[in-house]
Amino acid sequence: MALSPSNMRGAAYALTAFAIFSTHDVVVKSLGASYGAVQIMFFSVLFGFPLLTMMLMQDPTRGNLRPVHPWWMALRTVAVVITGLCAFYAFGHLPLAQAYAIFFASPLLITLLSIPILGEKVGLHRGAAVVAGLVGVLIVLRPGDEPLTLGHGAAVLSAVGNAVNAVIMRKIGQEERTVVLLIYPMIVNFVLMAILLPFIYIPMPIEDLGKVGIVAAFGFIAMNFLIFAYRNGEAVIVAPMQYSQIIWATIFGIMLFNETVDVPTMIGATVIIMSGIYILMRESTGDTSENTPVLRTRSRFETGTSLRVGTILRRRGIHPTRHMENDK
């Protein structure tokens, strides 16, 4: 069936957003060759604070900065910190395509975690897709065949942390103020990285500080393109565009870092991506999933260094799943 003009615009905006995100990750990887993930995270959060301040100034909702669900917010903050730190570390120590392949396991983990946290009922079809996707992760990791490194462990932890964050957001996101959802991960990231920074700090020349500025700028630009995508297209069309990052990862890895993509990584990535897309399609039917946890995960994996797409969309009254029955 042909896509509507609106969905075509949404897909185009999303492809642009994820191309920029991929370029953002290339800069992170290039910095990771000289600096630790803690140092990169610290300056990324520091450069992201002006954007958060502008949002705080514009937020019209009444209230304070105390979370409605403090324990869930605490767990979410821990998950975001782990996701960001581990993702930055993985980019610095793994081939780009391999890192992305592991990150793409997040939708599978979101589906699993939604069972105990959201009370989601996962049937045979989505359950089989999760199992297939996890087999794809094992194909990429090849335990016993290839030596596993801290980079692999970091990528897996990042995927787990992102899934925990996404499911908690689905549980409490409607009840917490946007600024509360944004400010706690950024502040904890900043304070924790500031405490650790003196132990690993390496002086950064101005050009490398400029690269961190580029990371912050690209994250902001890509976020806005993703917002445009969800304003125009249905979530079921926009969300799968994230998998285009594996194409950019392959191109950038070969051209800039002299990386090669081996056959097991490509096979495993294909299995993971197809499983994720299948789960998205099943959730979009409207009668398969009560909570649509994967379809509602509109941000890329969250690092706590920039604003969230989902919270901004909600603040602006934009419902990306508006075409679904009852806007579930």
DSSP-derived secondary structure for 5-17: HHHHHHHHHHHHH
Is-above-0.75 flag for pTM? yes
Look at residue 75 in the predicted model and tell me its pLDDT.
Answer: 95
**Strand, helix or coil for residue 146:** strand
Alpha-carbon span 311 to 328, nearest angstrom? 16
Phi–psi pair at 146, nearest 5 degrees: -120, 145
Helices (H), the chain: 5-32, 37-58, 70-93, 96-103, 106-118, 124-141, 150-172, 178-200, 206-232, 235-238, 245-257, 263-283, 309-315
**How far from each other are the two terminal CA atoms of the chain, in whole angstroms?**
23
Nearest CA-CA partner of 109 in 70, 87, 136: 136
Look at residue 192 in the predicted model and tell me its pLDDT.
Answer: 94
Q: Give the DSSP letter of residue 328.
A: -
Inter-CA distances, 116 with 19, 100, 171, 253, 283, Å: 34, 27, 11, 38, 18
Nearest CA-CA partner of 177 in 68, 71, 280: 68
Angle at the Cα of 82 (from 81 to 88), degrees rounded to 5? Answer: 90
Structure tokens at 318: 């934009």
CB 192 within 8 A of CB 44: no
Nearest CA-CA partner of 276 in 137, 93, 164, 175: 137
Mind listing the pLDDT tens digit of every residue in the chain (328 residues)?
Answer: 456 888 899 999 999 999 999 999 999 999 999 999 999 999 988 887 777 677 666 666 666 778 889 999 999 999 999 999 999 999 999 999 999 999 999 999 999 999 999 998 888 889 999 999 999 999 999 886 778 899 999 999 999 999 999 899 888 877 887 778 888 888 899 999 999 999 999 999 999 999 998 988 888 888 888 888 888 888 888 889 999 999 999 999 999 999 988 899 999 999 999 999 999 988 888 677 777 888 888 777 776 666 666 656 655 555 544 444 333 3
Q: Give the DSSP letter of residue 143.
A: B
Alpha-carbon span 240 to 3, nearest angstrom? 14
Nearest CA-CA partner of 44 in 154, 157, 197, 209: 209
Cα Rg of the chain, angstroms = 19
